[in-house]
Amino acid sequence: MDPVAFKYLGAGLACIGMGLAAMGVGNIFGNFLSGALRNPSAADSQFARAFIGAALAEGLGIFCLVVALVLLFT
């Protein structure tokens, strides 16, 4: 195979990580909302932790994007 094809294949595989990070953020906030509806008094104390988890998941998604861009343009 052509070496350029491997660059595109690697970038495509790195983009899978971005989709999984988006699913992780949805999972975090979905579970937070489910827990907040069950126990509204504890929702305020857990809201900051939900944002920290979402920020970490998005950080991994951005890292996957950087890896894909590095693979494509180097």
- In this predicted structure, what is the pLDDT of residue 74? 85
- In this predicted structure, what is the pLDDT of residue 21? 92
Residue 1 pLDDT > 80: no
- In this predicted structure, what is the pLDDT of residue 2? 83
Contacts of 57 (CB under 8 A, 6+ apart): 21, 24, 25, 28
Whole-prediction pTM value?
0.79
CATH code at 7-73: 1.20.20.10
Q: How far apart are CA 64 and CA 74, in angstroms?
A: 15
